[in-house]
Amino acid sequence: MTSPLPSAADPSVLDLAPVLPVVVLADAADAVPLARALVAGGLPAIEVTLRTPAALEAIRAIAGEVPEAVVGAGTVVTPQQVDAVTAAGARFLVSPGWTEALLTAMRASGVPFLPGVSTASEVVALLERGVREMKFFPAQAAGGTAYLRSLAGPLPQARFCPTGGIGPATAPEYLSLPNVGCVGGSWMVPADAVADRDWGRIEELARTAAGLRDAGGTCR
């Protein structure tokens, strides 16, 4: 049974866990055990990217069989994809960038969304449209923690999920920033572990990732 969509009283996607796993699945049959491993490790929010033909079915399976997971769709780049993933049960949307048409479709979907930005002008444009939560992508290539720290002063109302090139060594510094709610990454779902269906390893990696939080730039 599909989980209910988030309501205004629900916590933001940025606040569910310090790390948002970015998942690429070639086989939809792996979706449910992978999601259960991530949830067991303390990472309930899961971004399934639309990079493979199996993505829609994977979202549908997680939404239907792992109600404790908050499954979302990533790499959403067209209004048609917005319709498809929300019909499949996606509870949030993540895009690498945005256009007016895509933003309109994401807003109309009724589920939370994180449009991608990499410049101050894009952030200001979204703030003008009432959007305060965004994906900062590609994080490392676009300036990393130094860039985000620079945005915090003039644009404190914007909050980010930086994604792109972030790993367990760099995540704590991002999480120490006042304008970062969580970070996106795939290090807790390595391709070899997924291929081997080593769900125990993924659960342990997720548990370590879930322990990352703003503590002066250190892991606790």
What are the backbone angles phi and psi of residue 73, rounded to the nearest 5°? -115, 135
| Catalytic choice (47, 133, 173, 203) | 47
Integer Cα distance of 67 and 85 in angstroms: 16
| Catalytic choice (133, 135, 173, 203) | 135
CB 127 within 8 A of CB 7: no
Say whether 47 is catalytic. Answer: yes
Residues 6+ apart with CB under 8 A from 156: 178, 179
Distances (CA, A) of 164 to 45, 57, 79, 135, 183: 17, 25, 23, 10, 9
Hey, which residues are catalytic here? 47, 135
